[in-house]
């Protein structure tokens, strides 16, 4: 997650926005955290109308989640909010163009390995048959690599590279040291690239786009 200066977390404000009717609290909340949601849309490569639409969807999801949110002083609210917006953004992008989530040419490398979480929807792809082929190919490559690494290594990669978690949150979740979590991400990425080069179908697809 990129650094975004949104000021100090105010627990009282987080409690106030549980009430959707509190316009004053919501105005303060949106002014404080809008830069973070905007940064999330930029990190996802969105701009213009797409970015504005994704941000609107993210705020709707955030509003719904805040009704039951319980602040943990030991956690990172900024990190939690980023994950909510990021996941909404991933869903938004998958609905806008499933095919690009399965690219194997490095332009959107993180998303290429999301086959197992169902973010891309076959029924919304321009070419459902091609979508199914790419989905099977990405899932095959992903499964081959996952069998070769430790579960914690895969988990750290997935949280960091695919879900966009903050490193501190990944360390708390997995119990791995910072350096080990970073190395896990790099190791899995390298293994995915190598597996894609060895896979005849993936190699042919990448060669055809050059």
Cα–Cα distance for residue pair 32/28, rounded to 1 Å: 6
The pLDDT tens digits of the residues spanning 14-64 come to 999 998 888 889 989 999 999 999 998 888 878 888 888 899 989 988 998
DSSP-based helix, strand, coil % in the chain, nearest 5:
75, 0, 25
Residue 70 burial (CB count, 10 A): 7
Do the beta carbons of residue 203 and residue 210 sit within 8 Å? no
The pLDDT tens digits of the residues spanning 70-90 come to 888 888 898 889 988 988 888
Class of 1-96 in CATH? mainly alpha
pTM passes above 0.75: no
The DSSP code for 159 is I
Rounded to whole angstroms, what are the CA distances from 49 to 11, 55, 82, 124?
32, 10, 20, 20
Comparison of pLDDT for 143 and 4, the residue scoring more:
143
| Per-domain residue ranges of the chain | 1-96, 103-210
The pLDDT tens digits of the residues spanning 150-187 come to 988 988 887 777 766 777 778 887 888 888 888 898 89
């Amino acid at each position: 997650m990129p650094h975004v200066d949104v000021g100090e977390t105010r627990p009282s404000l987080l409690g106030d926005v549980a009430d959707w009717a509190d316009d004053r609290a919501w105005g303060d909340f949106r002014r404080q955290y809008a830069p973070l949601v905007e940064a999330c849309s930029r990190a996802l490569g969105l701009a213009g109308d797409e970015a504005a639409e994704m941000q609107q969807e993210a705020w709707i999801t955030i509003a719904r989640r805040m009704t039951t949110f319980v602040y943990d002083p030991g956690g990172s609210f900024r990190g939690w909010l980023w994950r909510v917006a990021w996941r909404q953004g991933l869903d938004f992008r998958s609905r806008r163009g499933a095919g690009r989530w399965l690219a194997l040419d490095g332009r959107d490398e993180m998303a290429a390995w999301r086959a197992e979480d169902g973010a891309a929807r076959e029924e919304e792809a321009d070419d459902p048959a091609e979508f199914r082929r790419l989905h099977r190919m990405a899932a095959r490559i992903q499964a081959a690599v996952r069998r070769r690494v430790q579960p914690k290594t895969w988990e750290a990669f997935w949280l960091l590279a695919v879900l966009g978690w903050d490193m501190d949150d990944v360390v708390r979740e997995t119990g791995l040291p910072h350096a080990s979590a970073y190395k896990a991400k790099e190791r899995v990425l390298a293994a995915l690239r190598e597996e894609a080069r060895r896979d005849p179908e993936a190699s042919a697809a990448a060669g055809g786009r050059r």
